[in-house]
Amino acid sequence: MKKFFILLIAITLLTPSVYAEITYSEHIAPILQRQCQSCHRQGEVAPFALTEYQDAKAWATEIAEYTNARLMPPWKPAEGYGHFKNERRLTEKEIQMITDWAEAGAPSGDLSKTPPNPTFNDGWILGKPDHIIEMPVEYEIEPEGEDEYRHFIIPTNFDTDMYVQAVDVQPGNRKTVHHVIVYLDVEGQARELDAKDPKPGYVTEGTGPGIDVVGTLGGWAPGLRPSVLPEGIGYLLPKGADIVLQVHYYRTGHTERDQSRVGLYFNKTAKTVPLKISQAINTEFVIPPGEEKYAVKASRHVKKDTYLLATMPHMHLLGRDMRMIAKTPTGNPIDLIWIQDWDFNWQDIYHYRKPIFLPAGTHISLVAHFDNSPANPANPHDPPIPVGWGDKTTDEMCIGFLYFVDAAEYKPVE
């Protein structure tokens, strides 16, 4: 009993001093700089900045609440199901520090010791690009209407095939640009569609580019940092290809202007292997109206020894979750990704920290669930109707994109 009291006193005495140690300048600012400011700064997607002590203090309670609930920073893949580059996730310790700091009244500490805020891609994060491509014109987005998926064609004039190791997209106007995807066209199909559309570029009815693309160079969404492919691997940019820049525009109630641009970083190594894309896909489903958790499955058989570099789950508005598992021929399961809380507005290509070796004969299986009930606030149909595969946002898709290279052509450096 005596021991217990001593312990109690020790805790009571210790606790305030532990709180007192956690300050903005020393502990909290570095976390906000690393994990929050990519979005919480002037002119970015988040509704308020977290760049100064005053901001952090004003929002301290909410910051503690949202980080505890794992709602901020937004990061979709569940922990323990794949290790990715550029993960936006706080450690338990960081969350505890934020909580303690908020509870202690958000002390500033010695503000003159606050580390300087990082600078963001007002310059290029990866340094000066080897080549910059830009939308041919400044595009004017009307104030009202449905979201617009407009595609701008930018010819490339390289006289050989090129390999691109990294792509950095700079949206011209973050208020209106929701996301950008960089597609490639070698057949002039995009030019034909452009010619038929009176405005610059062209629109499609759905969310896709409306042509048979030969590939993509990735894209941009708020908060995304450019991923650099491992040395020796590149996105193939075929000779003479047109870049088709898909820009998804929000309407803001005002006339907006945008001229987004893309920085390309070419591979410098003599021998480069092209990144390939395949998919586990199911196009043959119909989600009955009212169904809250309708399962859709897909799979993919790996024919040759492969290194998997990245994956991108893709569904539309009714998607709830998606999980992908690879099973090697010896029955060894490898978790590829699990998104438990799908949000159409937070999509990403998730690059693995280390390439994952998948031997020939590996079976990749995908299970996704869809919520077609009237209770789903994202359900675009009121009342719900049967929804199947289609290109429109209000149709559905069920794809797990797989970005890989042949193991016969590439060995990762350890």
Whether residue 403 contacts residue 308, with contact meaning beta carbons closer than 8 Å, is answered with yes
- Segment near ligand HEC (CB under 6 A); pick from 58-66, 110-118, 228-236, 394-402: 58-66
Q: In whole angstroms, what is the distance from residue 268 CA to residue 85 CA?
A: 21
Q: Which amino acid is at 306?
A: T
- Segment near ligand HEC (CB under 6 A); pick from 56-64, 227-235, 353-361, 405-413: 56-64
User: Does 38 contact ligand HEC by CB under 6 A?
Assistant: yes
Among 54, 62, 269, 354, binds ligand HEC (CB under 6 A): 62
| β-pair partners for 53 | none
Closest CB to ligand HEC among residues 223, 384: 223
- Segment near ligand HEC (CB under 6 A); pick from 34-42, 206-214, 347-355, 359-367: 34-42
Interacting residues of 266 by C-beta distance below 8 A, sequence separation 6+: 130, 131, 162, 163, 164, 165, 234
Closest CB to ligand HEC among residues 38, 114: 38
Question: Where do we find the tokens 């390309």?
Answer: 264
User: Does 36 contact ligand HEC by CB under 6 A?
Assistant: yes
Q: How far is the CB of 161 from ligand HEC (least distance, A)?
A: 34
User: What does the DSSP 8-state code read for residue 396?
Assistant: B
Q: In whole angstroms, what is the distance from residue 190 CA to residue 185 CA?
A: 7
User: Does 227 contact ligand HEC by CB under 6 A?
Assistant: no
Among 28, 39, 49, 356, binds ligand HEC (CB under 6 A): 39
User: Does 208 contact ligand HEC by CB under 6 A?
Assistant: no
Q: 265-278: string of b/e by CB count within 10 Å (b at 16+)? A: bbbeeeebbbbbbe
Whether residue 161 contacts residue 239, with contact meaning beta carbons closer than 8 Å, is answered with yes
Closest CB to ligand HEC among residues 224, 275: 224
User: Does 73 contact ligand HEC by CB under 6 A?
Assistant: yes
Nearest-5° Cα angle at 348, 352 to 240: 90
- Segment near ligand HEC (CB under 6 A); pick from 16-24, 39-47, 148-156, 304-312: 39-47
Question: Where do we find the tokens 């009202």?
Answer: 144
Tell me which residue has its CB nearest to ligand HEC.
223
Interacting residues of 55 by C-beta distance below 8 A, sequence separation 6+: 40, 48, 49
Contact positions toward ligand HEC, by CB under 6 A? Answer: 35-36, 38-40, 45-47, 59, 62-63, 66-67, 72-74, 88, 90, 222-223
